[in-house]
Amino acid sequence: MNRYLATAFVIGILLFAAIACKSGDEQDKADKATQAAAEAAAKANPDNPFFHPYGTAFGMPPFDRIKTEHFLPAIEEGIRREQTEVDAIVASAKKPTFENTITALDHTGLFLSDVNAVFGTLQGAMTNKDIQALARQTAPMLAAHRDNISLNAKLFAKVKAVYDKRDKLELGREEMFLLENTYKDFVRGGALLDDAGKARLRELNQALSLESVKFGENVLAETNAFQLVIDNKADLAGLPPSVVAMAAVAAKQAGLPEGKWLFTIHVPSMTPFLTYSERRPLREKVHRAYFMKGDNDNASDNKEILKKIAALRLEKAKLLGYPSHAAFILEQNMAKTPERVNEFLLQLWEPTNAKAKEEAAALQALMDRDPKAGRAKLSSWDWWHYTEKLRQEKYALDDSALRPYFMLNNVRDGIFALCDRLYGLKFVEKPDLPRYHPDVQVFEVLEADGRHLGVLTMDFHPRASKRSGAWSGALRRAYYEKGVRVPPISTITCNFTSPTADAPALLSIDEVETFFHEFGHSLATLFSQGRYRGRTVARDSVELPSQIMEHWVLEPELLAVYAKHYKTGEPIPAELVEKLEKSSLFNQGFITEEYLAACILDMAWHTAADPASVDARQFESETMAKIGLIPEIVPRYRSTYFNHIFSGGYSAGYYAYIWSEVLDCDAYEAFKEKGIFDRATAESFRKNVLEPFGTEEIGAQYRKFRGADPKIDGLLRKRGLTISK
C-alpha cells in the first residue's frame, strides 16, 4: 500500500467508441460522408495537430506542436464525430445484431478519446491557468455528450434488443461480458428513466462534473500556497545534509535569495522535515498546513463543495433506484454491498487500532525521555519524528542511510530487470520521441522476441503544475483495428524526491514501493489484449496488478541487482537488508490505521442520509470518534483534500487497496511456492490476469491463475494482524 497514491488508474468505464460494421452500399456511404467531414475539418484547422496524422514514431502525441488553444476545437470535433457515429448506428435499418450494435458502439469516439487522453495527461502533470479554465469549460460539455449517448432511447432500444436475445447468440466469453456490461452501463446511465428523470440526471451530471474539477483545483492551490522559509541555520536542527540541500535547491528555484531554505507540503519535502526536524513548533506548522488543506475558510475551501458532491451523488443514486451512492458503485465491485465493505473494514479495524495504540504508547515513552520534547503529549506532527528515532533505536535503521542505495535510475533499471526475468521484456530509451516536459523519460517496450509491445513514459519529480501523488495512466490504450493490435502508450507520473546540486534523486523505501506499484498498473496497460475497447474492471480488484509488484521490492535476490550505492556501486549490505526485513512490521499499526480511517470516511460520506445538511468538519470528527481513531493519527486523507473520492474515480472505493491486497498477497504466494522469478507462474499471471484484465469477471480470472479463490491469510501476515474469524 502506498501512502500517498493519488487516483492511480483510469477505471475501465466502458468506452463508447467508429467503424460501424454495416455492409455494402450503406457502409460505403457512411464511410464517405465521415471521411469528407474529417477532411473538411482538417482543412479548417491546418495547424492543429489533432486534425492530422501525428506523423510521429508509435503515434506519440506531438507535444512540441500541441498548444492549449488546440484542445477546444479538437474536443468539439471529437464530440461531433462520436455523435455522428452513434447516429449512424441508430439510423441503420438493419435488425440489431452484436456486430452492428455492440461492436459498432465499441468503436465510436476514437478521435475524442485520443484528444482527451492528451488533455487529461496535461491536466494532471503540466497544468496552468489556461488548462484549468479549459477543464472547467469542457467538463460539462463532455458530461452532456456522455448523457446524449447513454440517454439516447433509440440507441438503448437497439442495445436492449441484442441483450434480450443474448442466450441465443452463441457469443464468446469476451463478447458476452461486453454485451452485459454495455447494457448495464446504459441502465446505470439512466436509460430506464422517464423523461423528467432523464432531464434531472443531466443536471446532476453537469453539476457533478463542475464541482469535481473545482475540488481538485482547490487542493492544488492549497498545496502550492504553503511555504516554510527558513533563514536561520538553527531552525535546520536535526535535518540531514541531503534534506538541507534539497531545501536549498527548492529555495533557489522559488527565486529566494542565497541563505534561505524552503520546505513545502509536497510529500517529498514534508515527510523528511517531519521525520528529522528537531523544531517541534515548525513540525506542527508544516503538518497543520498539510492536514488543513481545503479547510481554511478561504477562497479554496472545499467543505461546501464536498458536501454538494456527496449530496448530488446521493440524489443521482436514488433517482437510479439505489439507497446510496455507495450501493450504486459497489454493485459493480467484488464486494457488492456497503455492508460487506464496512464489515470487512471493521474486522481489520479492531486489531489495527489496538496495534496503533501500542505504537503511540511506545512513541510517548520515547518522547518522555527526550528533553527537547518538554514532557509534551504526542501529537500527529511528532509521529514521523519519534517513529524514526524508535526505528533507529530498535533496528539501527536510518532512512538517510538507505537512500543512497535507491538512486532513481537504479530503481528504474531494477524494475526493468524484474520485468525481463518475469516476462522477457526489454526497455529501450527513446530520447527523440516528443514529451511534454524535458524531465519525462520515454521508453519503447519490447517483447522477448523483439516485437513492439508499447511505449512507456515516466515523469518523476514534483512541480507546481503537477497534482500530488503518483498515478499510472495512458495516452492510448491498446485496441484492435481490423484485426491488428494498436499498441498502448502508458504513463507513470510521480512526485518523488528531486536531485540536488550534488546528488542524484535518492528515493525513500516508500517511494521505491510506489514506483513498483505504478509500474504494475502500467504493465496491465501494456499487456492488455482484449478484442474490444470497452473494459469493465471491478474497482476493488484494480490494485491487484500494481500491488503484487510491491512484493518484489525487498526480495534480496532483486535488491542485489538494483540496490547499489550511487557513489561506490557497492550492493546494499546484507545486514541492512536483514534489518529492513526485521522491521517490516514496524509502524504497521499507524500505516494501516490512517489508511482504514480514510476508507471509513469515504464510506461514511457515500452512505450518509443527508450529507447536504451536516457540518463537514463535525461529520468527519464524529465518524472518526465512532471508530475510536486515536487523536495522534490523522486519516491519510481528510475530507477537504480527499482527491481520490471527490475528484478522482475512487468514491466508495478507497477501500479497494486493501481489498485488492487480499488478492495480491495470495497471488504472490504462488510465486513464492514456485520461485519468485518463475517464468511459468509469471506467464500464467500475464495470460490469465493481466492480458484479459477488464474483459472478464475478476473472480473467474483469478481462479484460472491460482486454481482457487484468494485467502485473507497472506494479507494478515503482511500487516501483522490477527482477526477473530
Binding footprint of Zn ion on the chain (CB under 5 A): 8, 543, 546
Nearest distance from residue 9's CB to Zn ion, in Å? 6
How far is residue 546's CA from residue 521's CA, in Å, rounded to a whole number? 5
- For cell 505504537, the residue is 359
Three-state SS at 467: coil
Nearer residue to Zn ion within complex by CB, 543 or 602: 543
Q: Looking at residue 464, what DSSP letter applies?
A: T
Nearest distance from residue 507's CB to Zn ion, in Å? 17
Nearer residue to Zn ion within complex by CB, 517 or 579: 517
Q: Is 211 a catalytic residue?
A: no
Nearest distance from residue 515's CB to Zn ion, in Å? 12
Three-state SS at 55: coil
Nearer residue to Zn ion within complex by CB, 380 or 514: 514
Nearest distance from residue 547's CB to Zn ion, in Å? 7
Residue 446 CB-density burial (10 A; 0-12 exposed, 13-18 middle, 19+ buried): middle
Cβ count within 10 A of residue 53: 8
C-alpha cell at 622: 464524529
C-alpha cell at 706: 491460482
What letters, b where the CB count within 10 A reaches 16 and e where it falls short, cover 326-352? bbbbbebbbbeebeebbebbeebbebb
- Residue 532 has φ and ψ, to the nearest 5°, of -115, 160
Residue 438 CB-density burial (10 A; 0-12 exposed, 13-18 middle, 19+ buried): exposed
Residues near 205 by beta carbon (within 8 Å), at least 6 away in sequence: 143, 144, 146, 147, 316
Nearer residue to Zn ion within complex by CB, 498 or 546: 546
How far is residue 158's CA from residue 596's CA, in Å, rounded to a whole number? 44
How far is residue 360's CA from residue 373's CA, in Å, rounded to a whole number? 15
Nearer residue to Zn ion within complex by CB, 359 or 550: 550
Nearest distance from residue 4's CB to Zn ion, in Å? 11
Nearer residue to Zn ion within complex by CB, 51 or 515: 515
Query: Which residue number has the CB closest to Zn ion?
Result: 8
Nearest distance from residue 546's CB to Zn ion, in Å? 4
Nearest to 690 by CA among 502, 475, 453, 507: 453
Q: Which position among 175, 511, 513, 518 bears the catalytic label?
A: 518
C-alpha cell at 172: 464468446
Nearest distance from residue 428's CB to Zn ion, in Å? 26
Nearer residue to Zn ion within complex by CB, 300 or 546: 546
Q: How many CA atoms lie within 13 A of 419 on its CB side?
A: 23
Active-site amino acid positions: 518
